[in-house]
Structure formats: structure tokens, C-alpha cells
Structure 1
Amino acid sequence: MAKPSVLLIMEGTYPFNGGGVSTWAHILCNRVSNVDFKLYSINASFEKEYKYTLSDNISEVIQVPLWTPDEPYDYISYGEEYYKTVAKKEWTNDDIVAQKFIPIFKSLLEFIYSDDRDIEDLDIIFHQLWFYFEDYDYKETIRNERVWLTYRDTLAKFIIGERNPDASLIDITIGLRWIYRFLIPLAIVNIPKVDVSHLTLSGFPVIPALIANYKYGTPIILTEHGVFIRERLLAINNSEYPYFLKSLLIRFSEAITRLVYHKAEVIISVNKFNQKWEKWYGADPDKFRIIYNGIDPEVFKPGPKPAHLKDIPTVVALARIFELKDILTMIRSCAVVKKTIPEVQYLVYGDNNAVPEYTKECLELIAELGLKNNFKLMGPRNNPQEVFLEGDISILTSISEGFPYTVIESMGCGIPVVSTDVGGVKEALDDSCGFTCKPKDAEEIGNNVLKLLLNEDLRKSMGRNARERVLNNFTLSKFIGEYEAIYDDIVQIPKAEKKLTKIEDFS
């Protein structure tokens, strides 16, 4: 008998890019034994090579590039017959767009800019969008002049004028381009029939899960790592976008987050912190589950420090070099430590090409603070269990996290941690295992690093406690067992009846 199938939906991570979510997905796909996986990977650009060796549990990988110059189906075949592709373009004319698409599109815009709409209305809107794009071409539709005119006139009704006097033509044009890109998965209607759709964030990647739900009645589950809407708000508020674009991104993102929580049968969090945000955006607490990330304690285990670092006070970090990891604060903490321990070494392992502009900013700060001999960007490594053993302690300075693998991996190796108090860090790292600090506080972080580097007894005691805490709470076997139980439960849910409301009946 064939095992149930799961469509695991990700954005910018597995299997083409590294990071904590990719680590989680790779473990899940390799270790869960009661389902088969199909991967749906949404990326900024078209990716040619996997970063990971894929498990035999993965039978298919669907890639959808959002921001390429051409459309996704210009790069990839999604299994639709050529004659259907051509026919959809031919059928998509001015009259069809005006009669069938414009009412739905207008309703979507009105939902985004209204403050009191029921989330079920957005579910109906996306159901109608899917129904429309089953028959008509995405690109020909969205580029139609009538779509621009509807967009312009609807925005004028809601936001142009006294409420938003600075909205320029270029801002409004960029806004429509963003909507075009966010909704591109609607163009890929040939979704495989699976038993479960499993989302890894509460954002726009819900679209393929919605299609499977509308088409086959496939139930949706969500695992929330870092809270999508929280991280989106942080990024938007720190951006230099004009007010109009910030407002559009926030409103659209909030609407999508609410829709994900509404549609998901189960909302799994990797920490308790996430649930505050989920409740705030309308999630039903009866859907909540917590499954902490887990590691293999036979892989991440104590070992000797490498000989070339034996007498050098060393701080290690595993982190991609980008804004959310706040490497700039980590650099400043190194300057604090250097005042007392001039020979200190910070070794940071991770992708330093993720955001080249940010890496440049980090290198400039290292030079400015005179830390070229102390703070080193080491590039990516594939052996974290060995990297942690290079350090006397490990460090994490993120401004947002879910339940970071780097913390429990370091703890499993018996290496105490200094971390910012974000996401679920404090649920992993209690006072017996290390220190938590305020985000962006380089002084506090640096002083706690000093406490551990200068006190060998404290360091060893915290290291022992850290390993014991992992063995009791955060093992791989516990993590996998809980996901296998979730999948078993979800596949028993009767499939929802398809709601094939006609386009003409929608208003």
C-alpha cells in the first residue's frame, strides 16, 4: 500500500539554499518514515542545483521562480499540455478579462484596503482566482490595460488624496508589479494530488496549498518557524520604501497571514513565543501545537577543541550574513571583549554572499573597529558538529528567530551559548546553559561573552547542563515521532468538498 504524500511548500530555502528552515526540512524529509514528500520550492530566481542530497522519500521537486525576467513556465515545464498553454493565451482577451477577472481583482484590492472584512471573503476571492486561471493565462491577464485601470481607480477610492498625499505614479506602478509577482503561483495550476499540504511559513506560499485544497480538498498544516508577519513588519519598517508601498506590503501580508491561519487544520509552532502573534492575527488556539526542533545527540556531542585553537579564547557562530542575524551587533560585541581579551577570536561560519551589501557593511565595521585579526567571516561549512567544537562558547545575535538549530546544536556539543532573547531561544536556553541578552545590545552581549571566557568552571558547568537539557527535551527521535503522529492524524481528516462557485456568481 502506497504511503500518504505530503506537498512540503517552502520559500527561498530547501533544497536550493541553506539555513535553519532548510536544516529542519532536510531532517524531516530524511527521517519521517510514514509519508512520501513532494517539494514545492518558491525562489527569487531560477536555481539550477540542489544544495542538499535529496532523500529517496522525495519523489518530485517543483520550483517556481518569482522574480526572473521571464515567466516561471519559460524556464520549467509544469506538466500542462502545450495546446492548453496556447489555448489559454488565445482565450484571454479584453472581454474575458473585463467580465471574469476584473470583479475578482477589484474584490481583492478592496479586501486589502478594508479593515472589517471577514477572512472567509478572502478565501472565496482566492478560490475564484484559481478557478479563473484554470482556463485563462496569467501574464496576458495581469498585463491587460483594464487591470491597470481597475487598480488605479480602486486605489484612488481608498488611498489617494489626504490619507496618502505622497503616492507617486512610480510607487503605484511598483505596487502592481509586486502584486503580479506575489500571485505568480496562481499561474501554476497543475498541482500534484497529495494527501497533505505542509506550509513552512504563513505567507504568500499558501497559494499552491490553496489550489490543492480547492481542487482536491487537500488539508493544510502549517509549521511556523520565525513568525512571517513579524519578520515582514520588521523588514518593511526598516526599509526606505515610501508610505504607499509600506502600507500595501503590510496590508497584503497581514491579509495573507490571516488566511493561512484560517485555512490551516493544525498550526505547529517551534516555540511558545509565536503563538502570541498567531492569536493576534486571528488564529484559533484549538489548532495550536508545539513541536520543538530536535538534533541527533550522537552527532552533536562533546569533543576536544582543535589543537590550533586550544589556547586561544574563541567564540563561534553559525549564521548567514544578513540583516536578521544582526552581525553588526556581533562585531561590536567583539570590540567590547577585545578590550579585556586582546587575542579573542570570533569565527563566523555561514553564507557571506546572501546579501553582498550587508557583508560589505560588516567588513567595513570590522576594519573601522580594528578587528581584522579578531573577527573573521569564515564562509559556509557543512560540518556544524565540528565547528561548534572550535569554540569555547557560541553566539547568536539575531533580531528574530523561531527555535534556532544553532543554539541546540551548540548545547548538544556541550558548548554554552550567549544569545539574544528572541523567538524561542529562552525555551531552549535557560540560565543554567548560557546567557540571553537584549537584541542589539553589544555591551550586554560582550560582557556575557567575557563572563564565560574568563571563568572556566562556569563555562564547563554550563556546557554539561546544556547537553543534559538537549538529551531531555530536544532529540531528533522526539521531533520525528511528533511529526509522524501529526501526519497520521491529518490524513484521516475527510477531504473537503470542492466549492466550484461559478465566476459569474461572484460579486
Structure 2
Amino acid sequence: MLITEGTYPFNGGGVSTWAHTLCNRVNNVDFTLYAINAFFEEKPKYELSNNVEKVIQVPLWTPDEPYDYVSYGEEYYKTVGKKEWTTDQCVEEKFLPLFERLLTFVYNEDQDMRLLDLLFRELWLYFEDYDYKETMRSAHVWNAYVKIVSSHIVKKNNPSAALMDITVGMRWIYRFLIPLAIVDLPKVDISHLTLSGFPLIPALIANYKYGTPIMLTEHGVFIRERLLAINNSEYPFFLKNMLIKFSETIASLVYYKSEAIISVNIFNKKWEVLYGANPNKIKVIYNGIDHTLFIPREKPSALNHVPTVVAAARIFELKDILTMIKACAVTVKKIPEVKFLIYGDDQAVPEYTKECLDLIEELKLKENFKLMGTRSDSHLIFPEGDLSILTSISEGFPYTVIESMSCGVPVVATDVGGVNEALDENSGFVCKPKDYEEIGKRVIELLQNEELRFKMGAHARKRVVENFTLKNFIEQYEEVYHQVNQTNTSDR
């Protein structure tokens, strides 16, 4: 059971590319996809392979409950029965002690993951028999929540929280824990998480119900990216603190419960160990690509004499497109005719896209910096450019870097995640995040030095063929699946 959040098979991006490759290429494995989305999606964005037996979709932020949109296989009589059995007295006596322990644990500095594991098992057993919505919307639950978080605010001498902030916090908890309501999961041999966050819950249920082992692949480190997003948000202190506490707690539980932790780079390991991962469980498997598809090609004739920089990037905060735009402004001062062509979803975060368009307008770059939208033939994107660019503030092991390298196109990228593990000094340039002056300077250097550009492109291609092929990637995952499954079989 491959468990995703906001990615495969309903949304694009690097994690989706990775998941689609697994589902299509791994031998002797059938997949159930458990996809947690913000909203209900009518159909997958990807054409699913025959290896995918089932898709379970859980929309967290819809106006109604997930089971109002999707049937999860629970018999009607049991659904009705759960609602009838969930009385005020039942909630007060059976659920409230568990909920209070959970909140207290999250805010506790000294955490024992073994106890949290046992607590989630008790929560699962409760929701096997009782209704999630009726429980979580009980006055008993609200009152207990307010009491505990209020005492934490006073005890820690934190800034006061408005009633609206406290209400929003409870709404978040309600949504984060919704997978506890979906207890009829298929029996599988392995639960494979794609991030160390709340998607752990269905994996926990399968573990408690069937003894199914859990494994994790860490792309961009969930807790690092969550901390970046929270600290850059405009949430009041109470909500920031709550999100951090919950995120750190759940990440530590993921590492505790995982039989194998796959990191897509070496950089991630220090974060994983910091939050309790056993170093002996961690294995690095670099992403791989089809080097027979991503090959060097001639530039399109329309761009032949146009200095061109390309990028494949979803338009949202972590990709830091604003820095890319500023780097373009630096480049234009030396090369006025330069074109930056950015391929990727520009509708995912409309407010951020607007911020980018406003900056393009302000810097008078409408003729130089183009948002090109999504494109399915990604192997043809990079040969359009003389070089490619990546300005992210967080990454795992970005496909765009090794895809560009495989096409013989050198890269200018920020030094985040595993970028410098893919991109050595002979394949392109690595710069500090947000340093648009340095990024622009390196873009200019490559555009003006054809010999260096071709030399780096040839080396980049060679590096991919030797290190980051699809064959290596698939063989290593097949081996890990086999090992985790063998451990599970021997335990039984």
C-alpha cells in the first residue's frame, strides 16, 4: 500500500514521478494507492499501470466528510450503528481519556514513542466501533481541548491566543486525524509511506490490524519543510506552535515505526537521526531516470540563436520562483535577449503565481521570463535550453536536475537537499539559496562560454549514465521490498 499526500496519482511533481515509476517498473509487486488529497478528485492525472489494483482516495478538506464522497467498504448497518452507539456518555468515558493523553503527549518535552504507539492503537480500536464525526464534535472533546491548550499557554508563559486561533487549531486536529475514521483497509504485505507525516495513520491501522510492516521513503524531509513553511507563515504564535508540536511528534513516530527508512539523499539522514531514526535502518537510494529517453537533442530552430534558460518547476513557495525571476533580471543586464522558459503547474497556488507575475511586471521582464504551464513530454523540455535552472529552498533528490543532466544540459541550482550529490562541479554550478546575484552570475557565465557549457553538458550526461539510471533505482527498491516482506513473514 503506497500512501501519498497531495501527490500521486492526482497531482504532478517529483514525488509523483517517483511513485509512477515504482508502480510501472517494479516487478512482482501489486500496489494499492492510498491517496490523501485536499479535495475530492474525479480521476487520476496519470494513466495507472496494471500493477495498481486499487485506489483509496481520502479528501481531508472537503466541506463534508470523506465517506460522503467515497465508499470505503463499510457495511451500511455498521455505519448507522456507529452513529447510534456514539453517545455523550460513550465519548466521555471511552474517548476523552485517549484524546487528553494525545494532547498532553504532543505538548510534552519528554516523549516515549512506545507509549504513543500504544495510544494510537487504542484510538484505532475506539474508531472500529464508534463514529468519528460524532465523537470529535462532542462538547466533551472541545472542552478538554480548550482546557489542555489553555493550560499550556499559561504554563509556558506564551502569548495569549484568540478564540478564533483556538478554534482553528481544533479544526486542524479534526482534519489531520480523519484517516482514523477509515478502518476497513485491504490486507497488504507492506505499507510504504512517501513522507514522515500524518499519512502514517493508515499505515498504523494496517500494522495494528494485520501486522503489516511500515517503510518510509523520505524525499524532502517532511519536518524540515514543515518548519520552513510554518516559520514563513503569518499564523499567530499559538497555531505555529501547535503545528510544530504535532509535526515533530508524528515525524518521530514515523521513524520509530518504520522497518526501513529510504532517503533519496545523504543530506536527509542528519534530520532523520535528529528526530529519533535508527541510523541502521536508513538506506540511501537515489532517484533514477530513463537515460534512453532523456537524451541530448538539437535545440528547436525557433530558439537556435536565443540564449535560453529552462526550468521544470511547479509554481509554489518551495521552488522559490521569485528568486528565479530576480536572477533573470540580473542576467538581462548582460544578455538582454535571454529567455527563461518555466514549465510547470501555475494554478496550484494562485496567490503565489500572482506574486510572481507582479514581480515580472515590476522588473519589466515580460519578454524575458515566461510561465509556460504544464507539459507532458518532459524529456523535450531541457533540450530547449542552453542550461537549466533550479532555485528551490528545499528538495529531496530533484528529478529535474538529473533529467537535465541526462539531456546533456548543464544546471545552475541551489545547494539544497541532495542537489550537490547529483550535480558535481563538472556538471554545473551550485549556489546558495535565495542568492539571485550569484545565480544570475553563473547563468551569464554559462551562456557566454560555449566551450564550458558543452564540456559540462557532456560530463553531466556521463554522470547520469554511470550513477542515476532507472535500472539501478528499480533493482534497489525491489531488494528493499523483498527484505521488508521477508522480515514480516519471519515475524509471523
**Structure 2: distance between partners of 1:165 and 1:413:** 53
Correspondences of 1:450-469 after superposition (within 5 Å): 450-469=444-463
What is the number of residues matched between the two proteins? 492
Which residue in the other structure is 1:270 paired with?
A: 264
Which residue in the other structure is 2:240 paired with?
A: 246
Residue among 54, 62, 65 paired with 1:68:
62
Q: SS at 2:486's partner residue?
A: coil
**Structure 2: distance between partners of 1:61 and 1:479:** 24
Q: Within the alignment, does 1:386 sit opposite 2:375 as a pair?
A: no
Higher relative contact order (CA 8 A, sep 6+): 1
Deviating more after overlay: 368-377 vs 489-498: 489-498
Correspondences of 1:177-326 after superposition (within 5 Å): 177-326=171-320
Q: Which amino acid aligns with 2:211?
A: G
Q: Within the alignment, does 1:436 sit opposite 2:420 as a pair?
A: no
Q: SS at 1:160's partner residue?
A: helix
Q: Which amino acid aligns with 1:477?
A: K
Residue among 407, 411, 414 paired with 2:408:
414
Any conservation in 1 of the 2:153–2:160 contact (CA below 8 Å)? no
Which residue in the other structure is 1:397 paired with?
A: 391
Which residue in the other structure is 1:473 paired with?
A: 467
Q: SS at 1:435's partner residue?
A: strand
Q: SS at 1:167's partner residue?
A: coil
**Structure 2: distance between partners of 1:191 and 1:143:** 24
Q: Displacement, 1:160?
A: 3.2
**Structure 1: distance between partners of 2:332 and 2:358:** 18
**Structure 1: distance between partners of 2:377 and 2:157:** 53
Q: Displacement, 1:161?
A: 6.1
Q: SS at 2:334's partner residue?
A: coil
Q: Displacement, 1:490?
A: 1.0
Correspondences of 1:78-227 after superposition (within 5 Å): 78-160=72-154, 163-227=157-221
Q: TM-score scaled to structure 1, two decimals?
A: 0.96
Q: Displacement, 1:49?
A: 1.6
Q: Displacement, 1:287?
A: 0.2
Residue among 476, 479, 484 paired with 1:482:
476
Q: Within the alignment, does 1:25 sit opposite 2:19 as a pair?
A: yes
**Structure 2: distance between partners of 1:163 and 1:396:** 42
Q: Which amino acid aligns with 1:490?
A: V
Structure 2: tracts of 5 or more residues without a match? none
* Change beyond 3 A, Cα 1:295–1:497: closer
Q: Displacement, 1:165?
A: 3.3
Q: Within the alignment, does 1:334 sit opposite 2:328 as a pair?
A: yes
Q: Displacement, 1:65?
A: 0.3
Which residue in the other structure is 1:364 paired with?
A: 358
Q: Which amino acid aligns with 1:158?
A: H
Q: SS at 1:492's partner residue?
A: helix
**Structure 1: distance between partners of 2:19 and 2:243:** 27
Q: Displacement, 1:157?
A: 2.4
RMSD: 1.0
Structure 1: tracts of 5 or more residues without a match? 1-6, 499-507
**Structure 2: distance between partners of 1:206 and 1:276:** 21
**Structure 2: distance between partners of 1:391 and 1:331:** 16
Per-residue CA deviation, residues 353-397 of structure 1 (Å, 9 max, x unaligned), is: 000000000000001001000000000001111010100000000
Any conservation in 1 of the 2:159–2:237 contact (CA below 8 Å)? no
